[in-house]
């Protein structure tokens, strides 16, 4: 039996716990998700290293999953645009059962190996794409179908699973096993198995964006200010990075469509917006290198 499906030997009387003890037990078990991701850190680092040149060459991130895993992949893909200005068309998410499965479970969709392959092929994968394949069991047919189609197309495949020796991790070019063991509520992989996948995806995509010069120091300088909160964040980030007052920071941002990187370089080097853009382009988007030029 898969570890994620094996009834836990602990907390066999969970349904009889007082509510406070029940809450504490569920929370405490989540710490095992962090430990599982920490153990997989070398594999995540290998995935970032392999993905970087493909992204620099114009490749896409394509997330594939079913159920909770698929929804977590879709969430990571969606958040890349406002956080890092990563283009929508370069972060795709394939969910067994289609987009409606984000809100309503589509029973049986995850068992369709051929549909997984067909959905992946429909994205016209290339060798520069990175396909992230998510399955707590590590054997979801829909995900395996997509994995095999991605490999046939020459794309980089990164398989995430919560069981050791799984097909998804074993058949992918880079396998990331998040060994979270049995769940407190037997088989409910929306618990710590899901948490570990969320952490792993956050870690992978954030590290990749750092390597793509989307971060200066630890500042989120390539955000897309799509609402009032993010506009204020852009102003604060510019002020913090340059020492400029709010008026000067806002004025520079208004001249460059609130592109924080450009405003930082323009203010720090006391140059024009056009010159700041040119410096950043020559530095491949690196604020640090543009400031040193």
CATH of the domain at 284: 1.10.8.1080
Report residue 211 as tokens: 């390597």
Which residue from 293, 82, 68, 52 is spatially nearest to 162, judged by alpha carbons?
Answer: 68
Kindly state whether residue 223 falls inside one of the protein's structural domains: no
Asked if residue 273 and residue 204 are part of one domain, the reply reads no
Asked if residue 139 and residue 284 are part of one domain, the reply reads no
The per-residue pLDDT of the chain, averaged, comes to 96
Longest dimension (CA), the chain: 68
In the listed set 211, 241, 269, which residue is the last one of a domain according to the structure? 211
The predicted structure's pLDDT at residue 5: 86
CA 23, CA 11: separation in Å to the nearest integer?
12
Asked if residue 149 and residue 271 are part of one domain, the reply reads no
CA 226, CA 223: separation in Å to the nearest integer?
9
Q: What is the pLDDT of residues 9-39, one digit of tens each?
A: 889 999 999 999 999 999 999 999 999 999 9
Q: Which residue bears the tokens 């994205």?
A: 123
The predicted structure's pLDDT at residue 99: 86
The predicted structure's pLDDT at residue 184: 93
CA 264, CA 242: separation in Å to the nearest integer?
6
Asked if residue 282 and residue 158 are part of one domain, the reply reads no
Q: What is the pLDDT of residues 32-54, one digit of tens each?
A: 999 999 999 999 999 999 999 99
- Residues carrying an active site annotation: 79, 110
The predicted structure's pLDDT at residue 176: 98
All residues at 6 or more sequence positions from 131 whose CB lies less than 8 Å from its CB, including other chains: 62, 64, 120, 125, 146, 147, 150, 155, 156, 157, 158
pLDDT at 103 over 90: no
What is this structure's pTM? 0.94
Q: Which helix (H) or strand (E) holds 135?
A: strand 130-135
Q: What is the pLDDT of residues 117-175, one digit of tens each?
A: 999 999 999 999 999 999 999 999 999 999 999 999 999 999 999 999 999 999 999 99
281: domain range?
Answer: 228-292
Confidence at 106, pLDDT banded by 50, 70, 90: confident
Asked if residue 233 and residue 197 are part of one domain, the reply reads no
Contact 287, 265 (CB under 8 A): yes
Asked if residue 236 and residue 207 are part of one domain, the reply reads no
The predicted structure's pLDDT at residue 105: 79
The predicted structure's pLDDT at residue 100: 86
With pLDDT > 90 as the criterion, what percentage of the chain qualifies? 91
In the listed set 211, 246, 265, which residue is the last one of a domain according to the structure? 211
Asked if residue 264 and residue 137 are part of one domain, the reply reads no
Kindly state whether residue 281 falls inside one of the protein's structural domains: yes
Asked if residue 233 and residue 206 are part of one domain, the reply reads no
Q: What is the pLDDT of residues 163-214, one digit of tens each?
A: 999 999 999 999 999 999 999 999 899 999 999 999 999 999 999 999 999 9
Number of domains in the chain: 2
DSSP one-letter string for 14-56: GGGS-HHHHHHHHHHHTHHHHHHHHHTHHHHHHHHHHHHHHHH
Laid out side by side, the sheet with 174-177 consists of: 91-95, 61-65, 130-135, 156-161, 174-177
Confidence at 8, pLDDT banded by 50, 70, 90: confident
Report residue 225 as tokens: 């200010």
- Cβ-based burial of 10 (10 A; exposed 0-12, middle 13-18, buried ≥19): exposed
Torsion-angle region of residue 243: left (phi > 0), alpha (psi -120 to 50) or beta?
A: left
């Amino acid at each position: 039996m898969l570890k994620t499906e094996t009834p836990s030997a602990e907390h066999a009387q969970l349904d009889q716990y007082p509510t406070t003890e029940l809450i504490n037990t569920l929370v405490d078990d989540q710490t095992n998700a962090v430990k599982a991701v920490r153990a997989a850190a070398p594999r995540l680092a290998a995935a970032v290293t392999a993905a970087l040149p493909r992204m620099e060459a114009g490749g896409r991130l394509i997330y594939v999953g079913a159920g909770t895993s698929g929804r977590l992949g879709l969430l990571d893909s969606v958040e890349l645009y406002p956080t890092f200005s990563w283009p929508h068309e370069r972060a795709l998410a394939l969910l067994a059962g289609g987009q409606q499965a984000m809100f309503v479970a589509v029973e049986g969709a995850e068992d369709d190996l051929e549909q997984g392959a067909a959905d992946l092929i429909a994205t016209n994968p290339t060798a520069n794409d990175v396909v992230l394949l998510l399955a707590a069991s590590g054997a979801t047919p829909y995900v395996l179908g997509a994995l095999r189609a991605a490999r046939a197309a020459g794309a980089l495949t990164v398989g995430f699973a919560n069981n050791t020796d799984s097909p998804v991790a074993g058949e992918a070019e880079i396998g990331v096993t998040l060994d979270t063991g049995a769940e407190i509520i037997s088989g409910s992989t929306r618990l710590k198995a899901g948490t570990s996948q969320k952490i792993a995806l956050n870690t992978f995509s954030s590290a990749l964006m750092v390597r793509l010069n989307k971060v200066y120091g630890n500042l989120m300088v390539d955000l897309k200010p799509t609402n009032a909160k993010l506009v204020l964040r852009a102003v604060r980030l510019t002020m913090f990075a340059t020492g400029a007052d709010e008026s000067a920071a806002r004025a520079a941002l208004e001249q460059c469509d609130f592109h924080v990187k450009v405003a930082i370089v323009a203010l720090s080097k006391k140059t024009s917006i056009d010159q700041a853009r040119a410096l950043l382009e020559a530095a491949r988007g690196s604020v640090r290198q543009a400031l040193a030029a």
